[in-house]
Structures are given as C-alpha cells and as structure tokens.
Structure 1
Amino acid sequence: MAQIATEEAQPGSRTAARRPALSPSRASDFKQCPLLYRFRAVDRLPEVPTKAQLRGTLVHSVLERLFALPQHDRLPGRARELLAPAWSELTGERPEWAELFAGEDDAQVAEWLSSAEKLLDSYFALEDPRRLDPEACELHVEIELDSGVRLRGYVDRLDVAPTGEIRVVDYKTGTAPREIGEAKAMFQMKFYAVVLWRLRGIVPRQLKLMYLTDGQSLAYTPDEPELRRFERTLEAIWQAILKAGRTGDFRPSPSRLCDWCAHQSLCPSFGGTPPDYPGWPEPDPGEETPLDRAD
C-alpha cells in the first residue's frame, strides 16, 4: 500500500507532487460519511454532474468574469452576455459536460441558460458589484498548520476594506438551506476563515453566504477562540482520515443525505460491495473540483 505521507517533488521534476491536504469539500464528505470520502478522494469514482451543478459552475464562472471588468461595466446585461462564452469555455475544457444535453434542441438549451440568467438577476438584487473592489475572486488558499495538517481550498471572493478588515463571500446557487445544509455551508466558511487567519494573522470580520435561488444572504462573524476550536476539529478530522487510510476502513454512515449519493450501488448499507481498496492516493487526495466549488 502507498505511504500516507508524501514529500514535495524536487524542483525540476516533470510532475510536482503535492502533499496530501484537506479541502472543505472532502472534510465535509468525511464528516458526512467516511465511505463517501473514500469513493471521492481515494477511489476517485466518476460522478455524473446534474444540470443544476453545471448551472452553478457556470454562474460562478460568470461572476468571476464580471469582477474582472471595470467597475462601471458590471451590469446585469453585461453579466448575461458573459453566459454563452463562459459556457463555451467550460465545455471546451470538459466536453463530457456538454454530453448531458445530447438530444436536446436549441430551445431546451436556451431555457437552461435562461435559468442561469435568473440566478444572475438574483445576485444583482442582493448587491451592486459596481460598488465593490474585491481583492480576489476564485482565490486558491493553502497553508500547513503547526500540527502538520495541510489545508487547501478556493474562496469565491475575498473583500478587503481600506482598514484591513476581511470579508469572505461564497455564492450558493441553491436555496437558503435548512439545518443540515446550513451547518455544511458554515463548516466550509469556517474552514476558509481558519486558512485566511493563519495566512494573514487577521480573523475575518464577516463570512457571507449568498443564496441566489431565493435571494437570501447569511452573514456570520467568527472570533479567534472559535477559530482555534475549529482548527482543532480539522486536525481531528485529518487524523481520523489518516487512520482510515492506513487500513482502508472507511465505514458508511447512513443518513437522509444517502438519497443524493451517486454511489449507493457500491455501498454496503444498500447491499453493495465497494471496489478493492487501492491504498492511499499519491500524491494528493485534497483537491476540489469546479463542481465542489459551485455547490
């Protein structure tokens, strides 16, 4: 079996290995169900995305492009104009996404794009991007804690005030969640808050979730003692992952969320048999996909 820990590749090597890391999506997977984590991070089983997931990825891409425009040009009509070229670029990178629309006529595809327009309109009802000057969009953040845990993820948007205060913004293309969904979303935001706090030495002033389907925003203000506790939670999750990784003992944890799992046929809780354990992945089980980031 492959070793749990890996080292960075030497400079000049053909492929730079990245050490195993914990992302908010994969940490959330393990909390929800260790076997789901294994299927996604270790076995890397393919999952066919839904059109709703693709729409979320598209809207995130458009909003990133919108903030690359001059402030005065960040208008609803301009955002709609960005939809088609953004979708063309996304499907150029991942042609299998376009296959979900095989057999559909132009009118049906246009209707799907129109549903993305509605999400963009909802965004503009929540805030005016012409009044904002983000430091970064789709920001890759990564840090290794003193405990040796490497944290990695992508922040949808980072706002920094002239006074230095930080706001972390995350777009959600679904509706404002009930209890389980809200806890999962806030777990993600606290993950980013810990990374930014350790990178910059500043506790984010606000964590903001923007739900575009129903036009709601949720804002939360963390404090340093809370982030210290959450950091210990992340360290405990990583240790549990490493322990499971040594033996391949990733157990299922049935819940209501199983209804949305793409891997029920392989899950013992549903009479299935997982594939043979391939060993701990090399070099990196912590990467998030664009679909993860568009949740």
Structure 2
Amino acid sequence: MTVETQPRSVSQTQQYEQCGWRYYLQRVERVMPRPAAWGIHGTAFHSSAEAVERSGRAMTASEAVSHFSDLYSALVNASLDQEPNTDRWLSANGSGGEDIERRYRLGQEQTARYVEWAAEHQPTIWTTPAGTPAIELEFMVELGGVRVRGFIDQLTVEPDGSLRVRDLKTGTMKSAFQLETYKVAVEQSYDVPVNRGDWYMGKTGNLSRTVKLDQVTEEAIGKRFAVMDAGVKRGDFPAAPGFSCRFCDVSHACSYR
C-alpha cells in the first residue's frame, strides 16, 4: 500500500496541515525519526489505562504502575538500540537522558492517579452491539470520499443514553478535530448519537472541560480529510518552518529547518 492509497487518520491530517514537508519526509521518504521519551510515555500510559479498563478496574494501582514501568522500559531500550546517543533524542525539558528518567517517574505517578480517578468516578464504558467494550475502539469509515481509520480511547455512556468520546492525554496538546472525527465515525458506524467529548488529562488527574459536539457535521469533518488527501495525491507538500521545528522528529533530514 502506497502513501497515496493508504487510509488517512487524524494524526496524518494534522501533521500534513502543520507542515506538509514533515509529512513527506516521514511518510514518503521514510526518514528514521529521532526518538522522544514523550511518545514512549504516552504509549505506555495508554496501554496501562487500557489494561485497567479491560480488567473491569480490578487491576490495582501497583499492578498498573508495574505494567507502565515494564512497557516504558522495553520501549526505551528498543529506541536506545536504534539511537544510543540520548543527546540526539528530542526533549522539551533537559537532555534526552534526563527526560527519559523524568518521564519514567511521571508516568508511574499518572498511571496510579488514573486508577484512583477511575475507581472514584466509575465512568460507564459503552459496549458495542457486538459485545465489544469501547476501549481503544477501532473504526474505518469514509469521510469526504476518503477512507479514515482510527482508534478511540474510550466511549462512555451519558445519562440520556448518548455517548461521550474521551481521549487520554499525558501532555497538554489537545485536538478538537480528533474528538469531532471520532464523533462522526461512531455515529456513522453505530447510529448512536455522540453529543459531547472530553480529555482525561494525565497532568492533572482529572477531566478537561466538556466539548460540545452536537453541531459537528460529517460534511465539515470530511472536507478536511478530502483537502489533505488531494494534496498528498498531487504531491503537494508545502514546508512550514517555524517554532514547531524544535519538536520535529525528522528535522535532521530537513533543508528548511
């Protein structure tokens, strides 16, 4: 499958919109990205929260932290095999090596807090008609004439029977487009209304503000995917150098940086 024919995703579209040249280097030229502990941190936290939910919240905080620690260490070691020089790792705070250690401890704290939060608030995870709990729920839909694929962290049931889409974050970056895409994907796939969304914020151990999604239309969301898809297919990858270059994992191969 080529980059022209593969399904699109929220992350692909946002990357293309932010800097088409980064998209080109990473997804067409296949430049090896520089590792970053923040990505490993996010992956390990998501896996731990998923394990907690799939256990019916029977997993203890200690068990969840062990899950995080084991996966985080394994992923760091795999990345160190590819890039052993931590000075070349991306980091928003200190050196790459310092960030690896800091995020190990931070991720453990965030994982324990998630277990405590879930036990206290007991959100009701929706179950699909096929009997699948809506945790890391995969979808494949057509939006704007484009195949779009993704995974939804959680869908919970509202008192009125509608659904709420929830994304888990270990950092501060949030994307309304992500929640909006998930809303229209769920409604297209299951014909169940999704009127609200939010983020569980690992940094605070609480939910974000509620995002109203009842006015979001499939046409508006589909248009963004269609514009991105058309740009990729015609080979249009405009560079957008600026502040975000600091956090670009393929900047080492970029002539615009």
Normalized against structure 1, the TM-score is what? 0.68
* Corresponding residue number in structure 2 for 1:13: none
Find the structure with the greater CA-based Rg.
1
* Corresponding residue number in structure 2 for 1:250: 237
Kindly state the Cα deviation for residue 153 of structure 1 after the two structures are TM-superposed: 1.0
Q: Secondary structure at the match of 2:234?
A: helix
* Corresponding residue number in structure 1 for 2:186: 196
Where do residues 116-195 of structure 1 align in structure 2 (5 Å cutoff)? 116-124=107-115, 126-128=117-119, 131-134=122-125, 135-145=133-143, 147-161=144-158, 164-175=161-172, 181-182=173-174, 185-195=175-185
* Corresponding residue number in structure 1 for 2:255: 268
State the Cα deviation string for residues 17-45 of structure 1 (Å, max 9, x = none).
xxx21111110001101111112222222
Kindly state the Cα deviation for residue 77 of structure 1 after the two structures are TM-superposed: 3.0
Asked whether the 8 Å contact 1:165–1:205 carries over to 2, the reply is: yes
Where do residues 6-21 of structure 1 align in structure 2 (5 Å cutoff)? 20-21=6-7
Asked whether the 8 Å contact 2:167–2:200 carries over to 1, the reply is: yes
Distance 1:231 1:30, change over 3 A: same
Kindly state the Cα deviation for residue 253 of structure 1 after the two structures are TM-superposed: 1.2
Kindly state the Cα deviation for residue 204 of structure 1 after the two structures are TM-superposed: 1.3
Output the CA distance in 1 between the equivalents of 2:153 and 2:36.
21
Asked whether the 8 Å contact 2:4–2:232 carries over to 1, the reply is: no
Stretches of 4+ aligned residues off by more than 6 angstroms: 100-104, 108-111
Output the CA distance in 2 between the equivalents of 1:267 and 1:129.
47
* Corresponding residue number in structure 2 for 1:52: 38
Where do residues 219-234 of structure 1 align in structure 2 (5 Å cutoff)? 219-234=210-225
Asked whether the 8 Å contact 2:3–2:27 carries over to 1, the reply is: no
Kindly state the Cα deviation for residue 99 of structure 1 after the two structures are TM-superposed: 3.7
Kindly state the Cα deviation for residue 264 of structure 1 after the two structures are TM-superposed: 2.6
State the Cα deviation string for residues 183-206 of structure 1 (Å, max 9, x = none).
xx2122222222112212234122
State the Cα deviation string for residues 248-275 of structure 1 (Å, max 9, x = none).
x3120123211111233433323xxxxx
Kindly state the Cα deviation for residue 103 of structure 1 after the two structures are TM-superposed: 9.7
Kindly state the Cα deviation for residue 230 of structure 1 after the two structures are TM-superposed: 2.1
- Aligned pair 1:40/2:31, yes or no? no
State the Cα deviation string for residues 24-83 of structure 1 (Å, max 9, x = none).
111000110111111222222221321222111111111111111134x24423322333
Distance 1:143 1:103, change over 3 A: closer
State the Cα deviation string for residues 173-221 of structure 1 (Å, max 9, x = none).
113xxxxx44xx2122222222112212234122111221233532212
Distance 1:267 1:132, change over 3 A: same
Output the CA distance in 1 between the equivalents of 2:85 and 2:244.
31
Q: CA RMSD in A?
A: 3.2
In structure 2, stretches of 5+ residues that fail to align are: 87-98, 126-132
Question: Which of residues 25, 39, 64 is equivalent to 1:79?
Answer: 64
Q: Percent identity?
A: 21
Query: What number of residue pairs does the alignment pair up?
Result: 236
Question: Which of residues 52, 55, 70 is equivalent to 2:56?
Answer: 70
Output the CA distance in 2 between the equivalents of 1:26 and 1:112.
25
Distance 1:100 1:50, change over 3 A: farther
Distance 1:54 1:129, change over 3 A: farther
Normalized against structure 2, the TM-score is what? 0.77
Asked whether the 8 Å contact 1:79–1:120 carries over to 2, the reply is: yes
Output the CA distance in 1 between the equivalents of 2:101 and 2:199.
28
- Aligned pair 1:96/2:78, yes or no? yes
Output the CA distance in 1 between the equivalents of 2:123 and 2:230.
40
Q: Secondary structure at the match of 1:253?
A: coil
